[in-house]
Amino acid sequence: MAKVENRHRLTWLGYLRNFVRRRPVWITATMVVHLLVFLTSFFLAVFFRFDLTFSADAFEVFYPAVFVVLAVKMIVFYVQRHFRSRWFYATVKDLQMVIYSAAVSLLVLTFADAYHKFLNLPQLPRSILVIDFGTTIMLLGGVRLSLRFLRENVATRGVDHLSRAFFVGANSHGGKIVEIINTRKDSGFYVVGFLTRHQYKAGMQISYIPILGMIDDLPRLASKHRVHDILIVAGTLAGPEFRHLHEICQKHSLELRVIPAGDIVPSRKIPIREIDINDLLRREPVKLDTDMISGRIRGRRVLVTGAGGSIGSEICRQLLTFEPSELILLGRGENRIFFLQRELEALKKTIHQGNSSINTKIYTVIANVVDVQRIKEVFEQFHPEVVYHAAAHKHVPLMEQNICEAVYNNVYGTGVVAMAADKYGTERFVLISTDKAVNPTSVMGTTKCLAERFVNTFSQKSKTKFIVTRFGNVLGSAGSVVPVFRQQIQQGGPITITDRRMTRFFMTIPEAAQLVLEASAFGRGGEIFVLDMGEPVKIIDLAHDMVRLAGLPEESIEIVEIGMRPGEKLYEELYSDSEKRLPTKFPKLFAAEARCFDVEEVQSQIADLVDLSRIGDEKRLRAQLAKLVPEYGAHLDQ
């Protein structure tokens, strides 16, 4: 019998040992400190109850009850996750949680005391439980706040090596961020004051840091307080206000740095970065409602063609957050697909952190969308339920010189993937299109127009929901104007623009990907979705913005006008006159219903184009494009 009891005891000791081993050292240390605090608190409660003596009567009350009190408190505080909190970063909310958990413990112990006979527990004077409640709060709260006080006093010593900074945004969120910055020596900065957009009262403080003035007071205040760096959270200011702040900083040789928006983890270094072109987007960034996307993506098999491109890769990154069961990356460039897969595998661990019931499997496919047999094999193997077709040739001047390849890839390739989606029962097919498809004047725009036409027409007879998304120039995408301008600036100029009057609609890569995912979520089939991108931006204004972003005076980089290239337009459009606009429930997202064409006729027209592209008859091919898309033909006649 003794052996059985000993084995049972060892089993519990082993369980406790394993419990401790599975947790980081700091969590185990926190549990031990809690246990000591609870023991001290209960001892003091009994000590105070018996008139500051610890007589035999007090010991008779203390000894049998202490184990019950400790067990109840440890369980309650464990359930409330107190052992995982970092005391060096204690806040008022932490103190509130201590009070809440102490109150729950008091209720449980009061209940146990009321039914002590039934539960076979020792009875306690109620006054001891009340005193224990108060001493627990004081001791535990005192320990936590003392550690934070210690950290802040030690951290704020010797800040002479840190860069003195102002923080733009005098609010509670800004106060929390400044607290973290000022109490971490590895932040590289020490905030000496806040700046605000609004009127303020002299003497006001946030987290004991003074509000010194408004943004327009920056030059005077920077000189007075010997400040060189200005910190701001991304998205705090609208585009015009941000540009105004940036101009002030440039004029007075101040460094403007941006803290990415999102939750700031106190125990990690805040990622402060220099500004990029997205910060000067000449409108508020559009954030679409993504709630319903999860229902379309979670647990589904999703294929992205052109996955290695700027838009395709961002679509993959955002898709991963919605937990598809399989994500198939299809592209022609093996290097891009290889590096994207590695990035996504790492991102998957960061996003899910073992909390997801779905472990997304990422597959790579090297294939050309015009290869019918290869695309058939891909669909037979994976049976994708959702397809995002981003594979396309997009460079206007290059496609003017390679018309056969443009037609073959953009039109025929779209048809190959779309027909495979129909044949293998894909639920949704989303085509990534462009505003250059509206009243096109280029080969690239015309091929995208025909790709849209095929997809919308094919949706008339297919159970697959075929959807088109259309947007303008994407800031920072490969081969777009932004990286070209950046390279020209790095080389000392000149910046080359085609025409000072030229305007374009601009959006960010995340906005483009959000539009695609949003459209796929609630599209019924046959629609063309367009994001409200605000007013078109002059290319020359964008060039000036980028020169300022580089920290240079505008006049230091020459801007040269070289004339419009073949196929280019001065102004882009988002809708054609023949398209019927449809309302959506999202104010920044619009839809258009394209003109209907006969399915067999469109398929026959595309077959003729493919035949001409295969034999390389560029003259007849261009004439056929002009015939099928009159807007393009009218441009050629000019």
Residues with a known catalytic role: 436
Supply the DSSP string of 555-614, one letter for each residue. Answer: GGS-EEE--PPTT--SS--S--TTPEEE--SSTTEEEEEPPP--HHHHHHHHHHHHHHHH
Before 494, cis peptide (omega within 30)?
yes
**Strands 205-206 and 209-214, how do they pair?**
antiparallel
What does the angle CA 334 – CA 338 – CA 344 come to, to the nearest 5 degrees? 140
Taking the CB of residue 115, how many other CB atoms lie within 10 A of it? 10
The C-alpha atoms of residue 454 and residue 412 are separated, in whole angstroms, by 10
What does the angle CA 195 – CA 260 – CA 242 come to, to the nearest 5 degrees? 45
What does the angle CA 51 – CA 57 – CA 59 come to, to the nearest 5 degrees? 95
What does the angle CA 234 – CA 240 – CA 246 come to, to the nearest 5 degrees? 65
Radius of gyration of the chain (CA): 33
The residue whose two tokens read 């840091």 is: 209
Contact between 411 and 403 under an 8 Å Cβ cutoff? The reply is no
Which has the closest alpha carbon to 389: 426, 420, 417? 417
Contact between 175 and 145 under an 8 Å Cβ cutoff? The reply is no
In a 13 Å sphere around the CA of 256, the CA atoms on its Cβ side amount to 26
The secondary element (H helix, E strand) that includes residue 338 is helix 334-352
The C-alpha atoms of residue 196 and residue 169 are separated, in whole angstroms, by 5
- For the chain, what percentages of helix, strand and coil (3-state, to nearest 5) are there? 55, 15, 30
